[in-house]
Amino acid sequence: MYGYWGKLLRVDLTNRVCRTDDIPEETFGLLLGGSALGAKILLEETPAKVDPLSPENKLIFAVGPFQGVKFPGNGKWSVITKGPLTGTFLESAGTGHWAPYFKQCGFDAVVFEGRADSPVYVFIKDGGAEIRDAAFLWGKDTIETGELIKEDLGDRRINALNIGPAGEMMHPIACISCDGHSFAGRGGAGAVMGSKNLKAVAAWGTRDVPVHDPEKAAEFARETFTLLSGQGEKFRAHGTPRVIVPLEGIGDTPIKYWRGDENKRGASLLGAPRYTEYLKVKPLPCINCPIGCHRHIRFEYPDGTVLEGNGPEYETIGMMGSNLLVEDLGAVAKANDMANRLGIDTISCGAWIGFLMECWEYGWITPRDTGGLSLKWGDPDVLLALVEQIGTLTGMGGWFREGIRGAAKKIGREAEKITVEVKNMDYPAHDPRAVYALGVNYAVGTRGACHERGNPQTSALGGYFPELGQDGPYDRQTPEFAAKTAVAHQDVSVLMNCMTICQFMMGGGGLTLTEIRTAYRYLTGKDVPVEDLVKFGERAWQLQRIINVRDGLDRKDDTLPLKMAVPAMVGPRAGKTPTPHDRILDDYYELRGWDRNGVPTRERLEALGLGRFAAFLP
């Protein structure tokens, strides 16, 4: 078998035992790896509706075929589990330096089972793993934890995925950090780690993955790296903050918790090129990355304190800046740093603050609730105070123990009508009224509202897939194109999460599906036509949906928040809404081969080679 080890590491935390299982070659032939492999394990090994924070839940880290060789963007890894925010399937992905080191230990995935009776961290190495005491790490933030593990293991090259204090307290939006600048951010995978008393997963391996044609694979990787480095030069200069201004220009960026229509001034203050100069930015690349979209910043505040480290990305600026009408980039950078160190998702955190500000505006919460704090739009001090409260689940933050739905229920009045989420996962910083495909993409998201498993917002910037027969991006505000745009982008982005290659290699560097096909052929000896490659993405998606359906989710949960049916009065979204949602949903179900209730049909599953998984459907 080339490109894979065919090995799964199992770590039984309850009994502190590690063992290795075989993964049959046909599993990779059907599912590729990463996201799909994790979904299969989760489906087969956990019962329906398992409590995400119970020992019975499993926590799976999986990579794809490219991690053991040099290939652009292969710093990616996926974590798959039942998530505490939605109560169903969760996959979250991160980058950094961990993934290739893990793969070179001789494994394609690791499954954590049970719960340790005291804090531990796990060190995965060539052919096995060691469960180590983590009492000295408990309570440390994500950046300190990474450094302390390097010291403990006596090797600064070793990287550890880890959780901060939020993960330890099983916070519903706790993330998993890698290298202090990449995060499996959404849905609370960090809380699952915390529930297992698992503080970190370090990896350092030295094994060479078998490659079908090592010479050609290496040469092609070098050529592709050079090509993407050249094509991605401009993107490297400004990173994702580059798109703040143009996306505001088409009405895509959230403003005032999805009620504002325009924010040109805010966008120009928060986005690049000002961002790049103001925060003294340098690119911060992950391993084997020809682009380096992450930002290293150095900013001196008026009081003389200096913030140096990871800078906010587009999503954080969108949700903690524009969404709250905060224009102070220094405050957004500080809020980002606080959230990252505590280990919480900056997207949901920004959404929750916007929600609280709106409730304050309506008088649904009062100074008695806020401890005297006035939750005024645009106030950077309020932003920082609420990040602290939310990140520690104290004060108003304590209302969010079960996510935004729980907080809305507690606040009462009409609060449940103003939330902007799907399946309890808050919308990220892209507005479906600007790109209709986002409405259905979020609605059917297998982990809730997600812009990375399906990223049709890229079509608004001009992205499309000529190799899949497209003649150009579909019109972004035509309901008839919404479902097919969502399907195309979902299949490709989920394929990338099965390959575990960073999606920005495509959108930011111009990597093509044909190049992926070629690289996969040199690596594994298998030539898979592009139209079959994207079927790997669809298979993963169908497996994830089976998990959703088994957990009791269906059409009733594939919703469009009320605010999305309210058009803007002025600006680029004036008069535009991604409706009628039901009709777009019908189109989507038909394209996916699901019945009218959103359940995958046996025929479609069989056509994809997934027939045996139909047995998991209720």
Partner 1 sequence: MAVTIRLLGLFRQYGLPEPWEVPAGERSIGELLAEMEEKAHAGYIPIVNGERKSKTYIPAEGDDIKIMPLVTGG
The token pair at 285 is 């690349």
CB of 159 to partner 1, least distance (A): 24
CB of 244 to partner 1, least distance (A): 8
Does 18 contact partner 1 by CB under 8 A?
no
Does 495 contact partner 1 by CB under 8 A?
no
**x/- contact string, 66-105, with partner 1 (CB under 8 A)?**
----------------------------------------
107-124 exposure pattern, b = at least 16 Cβ within 10 A, e = fewer: bbbbbbbbbbeebbbbbb
User: Tokens 């495909």 label which residue?
Assistant: 437
Does 260 contact partner 1 by CB under 8 A?
no
Does 512 contact partner 1 by CB under 8 A?
yes
Stretch that binds partner 1, among 311-319, 357-365, 543-551, 601-609 (CB under 8 A): 311-319
Sequence length of the chain is 618
Decide: 352 and 426 in contact? Cβ < 8 Å. Answer: yes
CB of 212 to partner 1, least distance (A): 25
What DSSP string describes 148-173? HHHHHHT-TT-EEEE--HHHHTT-TT
Does 529 contact partner 1 by CB under 8 A?
no
- Residues 268-297 touching partner 1, rule: CB under 8 A, are 272-273
Decide: 330 and 155 in contact? Cβ < 8 Å. Answer: no
Does 463 contact partner 1 by CB under 8 A?
yes
Question: Contacting partner 1 (CB under 8 A), which of 421, 431, 452, 551?
Answer: 452
Q: Kind of pairing, strands 198-204 and 120-125?
A: parallel
Stretch that binds partner 1, among 93-101, 425-433, 562-570, 596-604 (CB under 8 A): 425-433
Write out the E strands in 328-460: 421-422, 425-426
What DSSP string describes 345-359? -HHHHHHHHHHHHHH
Does 461 contact partner 1 by CB under 8 A?
yes
- CB nearer to partner 1: pick between 462 and 567: 462
Alpha-carbon Rg for the chain in angstroms: 22
Does 340 contact partner 1 by CB under 8 A?
no
Does 445 contact partner 1 by CB under 8 A?
no
Does 65 contact partner 1 by CB under 8 A?
no
Does 504 contact partner 1 by CB under 8 A?
yes
| Cα torsion angle, 114, 495, 455, 547, sign | negative
CB of 492 to partner 1, least distance (A): 13
- CB nearer to partner 1: pick between 311 and 509: 509
For 368-371, the CB contacts below 8 A with 24+ separation are 369/396, 370/395, 370/396, 371/395
- CB nearer to partner 1: pick between 197 and 457: 457
Cα separations in angstroms, 398 against 369, 386, 470: 11, 11, 48
CB of 472 to partner 1, least distance (A): 6
Does 246 contact partner 1 by CB under 8 A?
yes
CB of 363 to partner 1, least distance (A): 33
- CB nearer to partner 1: pick between 229 and 601: 229
- CB nearer to partner 1: pick between 55 and 463: 463
Does 318 contact partner 1 by CB under 8 A?
yes
- CB nearer to partner 1: pick between 274 and 604: 274
**x/- contact string, 215-244, with partner 1 (CB under 8 A)?**
----------------xxxxx-xx-xxxxx
Cα separations in angstroms, 161 against 7, 91, 175: 20, 15, 10
Does 20 contact partner 1 by CB under 8 A?
no
Stretch that binds partner 1, among 90-98, 378-386, 447-455, 539-547 (CB under 8 A): 447-455
CB of 61 to partner 1, least distance (A): 23
- CB nearer to partner 1: pick between 99 and 460: 460
- CB nearer to partner 1: pick between 188 and 232: 232
Question: Contacting partner 1 (CB under 8 A), which of 64, 68, 100, 509?
Answer: 509
Q: How many CB atoms lie within 10 A of CB 135?
A: 10
Phi, psi of 121 (to 5 degrees): -130, 155
Q: Kind of pairing, strands 89-94 and 176-178?
A: unpaired
Cα–Cα distance for residue pair 102/392, rounded to 1 Å:
31
Does 247 contact partner 1 by CB under 8 A?
yes
- CB nearer to partner 1: pick between 241 and 292: 241
Cα–Cα distance for residue pair 567/562, rounded to 1 Å:
11
Does 519 contact partner 1 by CB under 8 A?
no
CB of 252 to partner 1, least distance (A): 9
- CB nearer to partner 1: pick between 27 and 340: 340
- CB nearer to partner 1: pick between 4 and 427: 427
Stretch that binds partner 1, among 27-35, 69-77, 403-411, 453-461 (CB under 8 A): 453-461
CB of 23 to partner 1, least distance (A): 32
Q: Kind of pairing, strands 59-62 and 77-82?
A: antiparallel
Does 460 contact partner 1 by CB under 8 A?
yes
Size of the site for partner 1 (CB under 8 A): 45
- CB nearer to partner 1: pick between 97 and 451: 451
Cβ-based neighbours of 474, under 8 Å, separated by 6 or more: 437, 459, 464, 481, 484, 485
Cis bond leading into 580, ω under 30°? yes
In which element (H, E) is residue 93 found? strand 89-94
Distance of CA 462 to the CA centre of its chain: 22
Nearest to 288 by CA among 37, 501, 583: 501
Cα–Cα distance for residue pair 273/171, rounded to 1 Å:
35
Phi, psi of 226 (to 5 degrees): -65, -45
CB of 606 to partner 1, least distance (A): 32
Decide: 142 and 162 in contact? Cβ < 8 Å. Answer: yes
Question: Contacting partner 1 (CB under 8 A), which of 91, 108, 315, 426?
Answer: 315
Decide: 481 and 119 in contact? Cβ < 8 Å. Answer: no
Q: Which residues bind partner 1 (CB under 8 A)?
A: 231-235, 237-238, 240-244, 246-247, 249, 272-273, 313-315, 318, 428-430, 451-452, 455, 457-464, 466, 472-473, 503-504, 507-510, 512
